[in-house]
């Protein structure tokens, strides 16, 4: 398949993240990426996946590069696996502690980033509560810095979706034969939005969304998903069940009667899991809330891949970071070549 060419529209995160040759230079969203790039991420991650078992867990792909982790929202899995991934690629890593940084003295986000760029940073890994923050930064920052989205508002969490796709491919194989159900608080979930995009791009047979009407935006049907309000209907014959956390911190009003009512209707118990195929796998991006969206017997049971997902976060993030740095380097070389051609042409004209 031909790589997506990069239309030059800075308002569109899908174009900002690609080089003119259709390679990754930032990683902001899965929207607008093609199957070829997603498979390249999965295949690149495959080449890193066994590194954790080697005595020297390092490759030199980011040697001499500086990666800055900037998490404006809390994180355990994403922040730790990005740090480990960068270190395994031999980068120098700076974890900025936002709570003690000068942002609390009124410094703007762009000023903070420009100061970090002045220290020679090559990549910012950013989590932010505002949807679109990373796209804004990528459209403003110097071309020498790559921006990786570690989750923005309700909009996107593309590396999470890619590690989920890696987990599914590793354990279930061909996407075209798979029915996947995503269950719970779809309304507030950046993970669900990125997963729907990834599953569609990779050609999953069916993507189902299950939840109470108050947490199930009808607009997501336009992304190519089928909506269900009953677990018994939505889980019937699925191969993969992805549970989502109930994001109480993002709920402005009373969207649910109670947590116990939510658990009764949508919590994944052994009984409800029996509606799915007998060999169905269970996933959850974490953090899990036991007894709210998932029963411990299922979370810790033989069909659960929840901790596998966490482990695969490292090779997936290594893949994305190495591809973005490679895209940046190619783009810079091309720009330098073009400048040199223009300067030679000008010199030729002057001496002619
Ligand atoms: N899945 C996920 O984003 O987890 P963290 O919030 O711990 O990073």
Q: What is the pLDDT of residue 7?
A: 43
- How many whole angstroms from 245 Cα to the centroid of ligand 1? 10
Nearest atom, ligand 1, residue 76 CA: 7
Provide the residue ranges of all domains of the chain, joining segments of one domain with +: 13-153+312-342, 159-304
CB contact set of 5 (below 8 Å; sequence gap of 6+): 18, 20, 21, 22
Nearest atom, ligand 1, residue 150 CA: 3
pLDDT in tens, the chain (352 residues): 333 344 456 667 667 999 989 999 999 999 999 999 999 999 999 999 998 788 888 999 999 999 999 999 999 999 999 999 999 999 999 999 888 888 878 899 999 999 999 999 999 999 999 999 999 999 999 889 999 999 999 999 999 999 999 999 999 999 999 999 999 999 999 999 999 999 999 999 999 999 999 999 999 999 999 999 999 999 999 999 999 999 877 666 667 778 899 999 999 999 999 999 999 999 999 999 999 999 999 999 999 999 999 999 999 999 999 999 999 998 888 888 877 877 777 777 666 5
- Measure the CA dihedral 2/86/199/282, to 10°: 160
> Which of the four CATH numbers 3.20.20.70, 1.25.60.10, 3.40.50.1370, 1.10.3720.10 does domain 159-304 have?
3.40.50.1370
Nearest atom, ligand 1, residue 78 CA: 8
Nearest atom, ligand 1, residue 80 CA: 8
* Helix (H) or strand (E) segment spanning residue 105: none
- How many whole angstroms from 261 Cα to the centroid of ligand 1? 25
The dihedrals phi and psi of 4, each to the nearest 5 degrees, come to -65, 125
Nearest atom, ligand 1, residue 151 CA: 3
Helix 306-351 crosses helix 158-172 at what angle (to 10 degrees)?
A: 120
Closest CA to 28 of 37, 36, 336: 37
Q: Is the dihedral of CA 44, 47, 53, 59 positive or negative?
A: negative
The dihedrals phi and psi of 49, each to the nearest 5 degrees, come to -65, -30
Q: What is the DSSP string of 251-312?
A: --S--SS-HHHHHHHHSB-HHHHTTS-TT-EEE--S---BTTTB-HHHHTSTTB-HHHHHHH
C-beta neighbour count of 304 within 10 angstroms: 22
Q: What is the pLDDT of residue 251?
A: 66
Q: What is the pLDDT of residue 170?
A: 98
Tell me which CATH code domain 13-153+312-342 carries: 3.40.50.1370
Whether pTM exceeds 0.85: yes
Choose one of 79, 81, 151, 309 to mutate for the ligand 1 pocket test, by most ligand atoms within 8 angstroms of C-beta.
Answer: 151
Distance CA 270, CA 252 (A): 31
Q: Is 68 helix (H, G, I), strand (E, B) or coil?
A: strand
Q: Is the CB of 286 under 6 A from ligand 1?
A: yes
CB contact set of 347 (below 8 Å; sequence gap of 6+): none
Q: What is the pLDDT of residue 1?
A: 34
Residue written as token pair 């929207």: 31
Distance CA 317, CA 78 (A): 9
Distance CA 78, CA 164 (A): 13
- How many whole angstroms from 61 Cα to the centroid of ligand 1? 25
Angle at alpha carbon of residue 102, lines to 96 and 107, rounded to 5°: 115
Choose one of 78, 82, 129, 288 to mutate for the ligand 1 pocket test, by most ligand atoms within 8 angstroms of C-beta.
Answer: 78
Cβ atoms 192, 186 nearer than 8 A: yes
Q: Is the CB of 247 under 6 A from ligand 1?
A: no
Could you tell me where the beta strands, DSSP code E, fall in the chain? Answer: 66-71, 92-96, 123-128, 146-152, 179-183, 206-210, 226-228, 240-243, 281-283
Q: Is the CB of 75 under 6 A from ligand 1?
A: yes
Cβ atoms 9, 312 nearer than 8 A: no
Q: What is the pLDDT of residue 352?
A: 59
Choose one of 71, 74, 76 to mutate for the ligand 1 pocket test, by most ligand atoms within 8 angstroms of C-beta.
Answer: 76
* Tokens (6 digits) for 196: 């729907």
Q: What is the pLDDT of residue 252?
A: 61
- How many whole angstroms from 216 Cα to the centroid of ligand 1? 21
Same fold, 13-153+312-342 and 159-304: yes
Q: Is the CB of 285 under 6 A from ligand 1?
A: yes
Q: What is the pLDDT of residue 98?
A: 86
């Amino acid at each position: 398949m031909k790589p997506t060419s990069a239309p030059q529209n800075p308002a569109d995160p899908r174009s900002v993240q690609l080089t003119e040759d259709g390679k990754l230079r930032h990683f902001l969203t899965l929207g607008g990426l093609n199957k070829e790039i997603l498979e390249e991420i999965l295949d690149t991650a495959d080449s890193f996946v066994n590194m954790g078992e080697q005595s020297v867990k390092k490759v030199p792909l980011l040697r001499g590069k500086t990666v800055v982790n900037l998490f404006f929202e809390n994180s355990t899995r994403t922040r730790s696996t990005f740090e480990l991934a960068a270190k395994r690629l031999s980068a120098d890593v700076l974890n900025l502690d936002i709570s003690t940084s000068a942002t609390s003295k009124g410094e703007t986000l762009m000023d903070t980033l420009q100061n970090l760029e002045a220290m020679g940073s090559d990549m910012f890994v950013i989590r932010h509560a505002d949807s679109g923050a990373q796209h804004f930064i990528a459209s403003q920052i110097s071309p020498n810095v790559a921006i990786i989205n570690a989750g923005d508002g309700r909009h996107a969490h593309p590396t999470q979706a890619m590690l989920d796709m890696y987990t599914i491919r590793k354990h279930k194989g061909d996407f075209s034969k798979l029915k996947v159900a995503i269950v719970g608080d779809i309304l507030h979930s950046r993970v669900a939005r990125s997963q729907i995009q990834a599953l569609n791009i990779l050609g999953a047979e069916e993507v189902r969304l299950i939840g109470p009407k108050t947490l199930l935006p009808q607009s997501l049907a336009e992304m190519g998903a089928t909506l269900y309000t009953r677990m018994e209907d939505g889980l019937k014959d699925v191969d993969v069940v992805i549970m989502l956390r109930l994001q109480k911190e993002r709920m402005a009003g009373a969207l649910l009667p109670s947590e116990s009512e939510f658990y009764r209707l949508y919590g994944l118990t052994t009984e409800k899991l029996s509606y799915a195929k007998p060999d169905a796998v269970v996933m959850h991006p974490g953090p899990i809330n036991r007894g709210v969206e998932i029963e411990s017997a299922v979370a810790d049971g033989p069909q659960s891949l929840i901790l596998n997902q966490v482990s695969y976060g490292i090779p997936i993030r290594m893949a994305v970071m190495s591809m973005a740095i490679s895209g940046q380097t190619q783009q810079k070389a091309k720009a330098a070549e073009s400048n040199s051609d223009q300067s030679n042409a000008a010199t030729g004209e002057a001496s002619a």
